[in-house]
Amino acid sequence: MLNLLILLAERFSMIGLLAFILSKANFFKKVISNNVSYKDLSILIAIFSLIGIIGTYVGIPINGAIANSRVVGPMIAGLLGGPFIGLIVGFIAGFHRFLIGGFTALACGISTTLEGLIGGIIKKYYKNTVDWKVAFLAGIIGETLQMVLILAISRPFSSALSLVKVIGIPMILVNSTGIAVFMLIIKSVFDEIDTIQSRQAKIILDITSKAIPYIRNGLNSDTAKIVSEIIYEAIDVDAVAITDMKTILASVGLDEANKKCHLFKKSEVNAFRFKKVYVDNNKRGLGLLSSVTAPLYCYDELVGTLKIFRKNKFVNSTDIEVAKGLSNLISNQLEIADAENQKRIANEMKFNALQAQINPHFLFNALNTVISFIQYNPDGASKLLITLSEYLRNNLRYAGKWIKICKELENIDAYLFIEKARFGDKINVVKDIDENLLNMYIPALLIQPIVENAVKHGILPKDNGGTVVIKIKDNNDFIRFSVEDDGEGIEYEMLKKIVKEDYGTNMGIGLHNVYERIQSIHRGALFKIESKKGYGTKVIFDFPKCQEKDKEEITNDIEIASSR
């Protein structure tokens, strides 16, 4: 029995060597990571069936039967691939054993099939990679089942019993140990995959943190140059290039890499159509220049490529996975950049629409006032024209810019001067302003639309007019603005809708515009409208304190927050 144990262990070493070689194959690593195709499954079935068949052929003939390691192939196939794979491999290896013949042929054929199925059932209920201890126990159960079937089916019984006494313990121990060793090899592969994926994730994360601020500006030669340099420094490759659909936007590393960026091969285009990377391992000559090319998309439209090059060596799996990850990252950021640009354009259009809707009516009425003044107050008409021109010039000059609060108030004063020229004592204004805040910066036209709403929709509809109170007060890190009138007030139902984007009145568009601009700079900042029909309206909002040196930083923060 001891001699048989040693012989079986020696024969199994051949299968163990095959297992080690197998563990280095890419398809085998895919199986381990559950990223497997039908082609990979077919190869898996073929290889483990072959292992089972080899286990039979390297077995040791004993008393008309064969002491063997056939079970290793089907059992491992089941532990890796599940019940179906285990059953198929077990049937193939078992049917082969049945064809060889002998008084144990039927029992061995059935037991081999069942052992593959047992491995698959264990895999089904064992979520992670099967532990070597479980595999060892599965081997004991499978081989014990084989001995039972030999005793139950094979005849004469006396020969079967004699055979089991000789081969039972050696086969159970050797094959169970072999299955456990095989699973240990698989665990080492799994650990290797884990290490590689961790390294890839770290590389991509490092590149992401450095590159996002630049990618957010879109795909152009400047951003491509910076991002290419970041990628080139982060990974150990010989060259990195980024292209659009016509030209090389940037290339870092080897000069000869540029020659491989000019034209897209048909095979590259076919790969890009399915959003796959293209690997070109150039095997011609000694001057090997291999590359992996990943497509860059913006809303499913191919806009460029990322190319990673290696000289005198093939690109490896890490290069490919990093290229895939960076392709997804850059594509997503390009979409975010485009969305941010569209949002900026939309905001500018809203701002211009707000100006356009105010200026024509206001200008028409103001000019009529000037005409009436010319007849009986030429000096007043002259002053009115100067004020009107200054008001319009400031609106155009400061559109979309940051201005000091004192400048915003000057423009409000100009507006109120023109309106008071038309309506006289119907408009009264009271200001309560902390002078230390006058040099703080705010976006232009932040307060003015609210004051205009108070005059146009609050005071002027009343026969006797009313008063607008403008307050600008220090509130720790914020400035508290309030514009209050004792005019007509707002209906409750209208008040609920007034700052919604799709609310169509002039008052609604103006207040929504101000609200959106405040929220884009400081999400969650106070913005409140208090009103009661017949008693007036009060608009209160907070805005972060901003000096001239803070303007660029706050603007960048707005862009970053929007890109998220």
The residue ranking higher by pLDDT, 7 or 208, is 208
pLDDT confidence bin for 550, thresholds 50/70/90: low
Average pLDDT, the chain: 81
* Mean per-residue pLDDT, 419-431: 91
pLDDT confidence bin for 30, thresholds 50/70/90: low
Kindly report which listed range (39-48, 172-181, 391-400, 452-461) carries the lowest average pLDDT score.
391-400
User: Which one-letter DSSP state was computed for residue 564?
Assistant: -
pLDDT score recorded for residue 500: 61
* Mean per-residue pLDDT, 136-163: 93
pLDDT higher than threshold 50 for residue 280: yes
Nearest to 329 by CA among 194, 206, 193, 196: 206
For 363, the token pair is 């200008």
* Mean per-residue pLDDT, 493-508: 61
Task: Quote the CA–CA distance of 135 and 143 in Å, as a whole number.
Answer: 12
pLDDT higher than threshold 60 for residue 359: no
SS3 197: helix
pLDDT confidence bin for 206, thresholds 50/70/90: confident
pLDDT score recorded for residue 150: 93
pLDDT confidence bin for 331, thresholds 50/70/90: confident
pLDDT confidence bin for 563, thresholds 50/70/90: very low
- If one counts every other C-beta atom within 10 angstroms of the C-beta of residue 155, the result is 11
pLDDT higher than threshold 60 for residue 360: yes
The percent of residues above 90 in pLDDT, for the chain, comes to: 24
- Burial of 486: CB neighbours in 10 Å, binned 0-12, 13-18, 19+: buried
The residue ranking higher by pLDDT, 292 or 471, is 471
Q: Phi, psi (5° rounding) for residue 310? A: -130, 140
Q: Which fold has domain 217-339?
A: Beta-Lactamase (3.30.450)
Kindly report which listed range (35-39, 194-198, 276-280) carries the lowest average pLDDT score.
35-39
What does the chain come to in residues?
Answer: 564
Nearest to 81 by CA among 19, 28, 131: 28
pLDDT score recorded for residue 564: 33
What is the Cα 532 distance to its own chain's centre? 47
Nearest to 82 by CA among 110, 55, 117: 117
What are the structural domain ranges in the chain?
2-195, 217-339, 398-563
pLDDT higher than threshold 80 for residue 194: no
Paired sense of beta strands 527-532 and 536-544, if any: antiparallel
Peptide bond into 360 cis (omega under 30): no
pLDDT higher than threshold 80 for residue 484: yes
The residue ranking higher by pLDDT, 274 or 148, is 148
pLDDT higher than threshold 50 for residue 561: no
Q: Give the CATH number of domain 398-563.
A: 3.30.565.10
pLDDT confidence bin for 259, thresholds 50/70/90: low
pLDDT score recorded for residue 28: 65
pLDDT score recorded for residue 435: 93
* Mean per-residue pLDDT, 251-280: 72
2-195 to CATH, choices 3.40.50.1100, 1.10.1760.20, 1.10.760.10, 3.40.50.2300: 1.10.1760.20
Buried-state track 49-88, b at ≥16 Cβ within 10 A, e below 16: bbbbbbbbebbbeeeebbbbbbbbbbbbbbbbbbbbbbbb
pLDDT score recorded for residue 61: 87
Strand partners, 506: none
Kindly report which listed range (80-89, 274-283, 304-313, 546-555) carries the lowest average pLDDT score.
546-555
pLDDT score recorded for residue 143: 92
